[in-house]
Amino acid sequence: MLSKTFVKDRRVSAFEKGRALITQTWESQLTLSIFLGLLVLTVFLIPVLGLERPYAKFWRDLIFSVVTICGVAIAWENRRLFIFSSFVAIIALVIRWTAWWIRTDNFALWREVATLASIVLICCVLLTQIFRSGIVTSARVQGAVAVYLLLGLGWAHCYHIANRLIPGSFQTSVGSFFSVVEWYYYSFATLTTLGYGDIVPIKPISRSLAIAEALTGQLYLTVLIARLVALEVMSWQIASKMEPEESPLTAHSSARIDEH
């Protein structure tokens, strides 16, 4: 009986230590800077290296795996969310790396679906941390920027999947798109509502996706700013209430000190 209690206490202690470690990781600006830096590499640097080079694909998959693991680790405080996100992330990573050996169109499609699911999951995990109550810190702002980049990546995978299922969903002036990385440009142009007109959705599904992404980009920024402002106002109100009022004795002592 005592041994079972001891084992249970050790498990609880390990979980609490892990929760404290993840909390410190989230509050650490350096860690989130690395997380955000990996996303920047995925969006801006990896496409420049070229998709036809094997090492570029390898580094892209490796960076995505690290980003996925970091995103899942942030959910440690919520045990149910952590278990569910770990399950989805493991499946996504297994499918992603297995695609190096199984080179079929059907498996490539499942690879994109699994990747999209993991991106959506990481966004949900980060949003739970961003919109929770508390003071506005640089870590919270960096997490918000990371979510914005993840939205662009996620919609790029949506366009890639739609174009695979319904060929000719988009009309372009540069020929056909062959990889999801080539959709990053169109995704972020739509997310920021730039739209240069060189890529035009012509099918109903592609038009619906483009409208949904444009609305997502605008609504996310609006809701994010409103939430951050509300948290900042609440923090000022709480700080003002916690300030001790100056008592008559303290005021009299301060006056005597000023006289001297």
6 in any annotated domain: no
Give the domain range for residue 155: 15-234
243 domain-assigned: no
Please give the tally of structural domains in the chain. 1
Do 94 and 145 meet the contact criterion of CB atoms below 8 Å apart?
Answer: no
- Structural domain includes residue 258: no
Return the exposure string of 219-256: e unless at least 16 CB atoms fall within 10 Å of the residue's CB, then b. ebeeebeebbeebeeeeeeeeeeeeeeeeeeeeeeeee
Question: Is the pTM of the predicted complex or chain greater than 0.85?
Answer: no
169 touches 162 (CB < 8 A): yes
User: What is the pLDDT tens value at each position of the chain, 260 positions in all?
Assistant: 545 444 445 555 665 666 666 566 555 566 677 778 888 888 887 777 665 566 677 878 888 888 888 888 877 777 888 888 889 899 999 999 998 888 888 888 899 999 999 999 899 888 988 888 888 888 888 889 999 999 999 999 999 999 999 988 888 876 666 677 778 889 999 999 887 878 889 999 999 999 999 999 999 999 999 998 888 888 787 777 776 544 443 444 444 444 44
Q: Is 132 inside any structural domain?
A: yes
Q: CATH number, domain at 57?
A: 1.10.287.70
Whether 2 is covered by a domain: the verdict is no
Question: How far apart, in whole angstroms, are the C-alpha atoms of residue 33 and residue 37?
Answer: 6
Residue 203 lies in a domain: yes
In the chain, how long is the greatest CA-to-CA distance? 87
Residue found under tokens 């892209």:
60
Beta partners for 199?
172
Closest to 220 (Cα-Cα) out of 150, 137, 125, 119: 150
Tell me if 245 is assigned to some domain: no
Query: Is 157 within a domain?
Result: yes
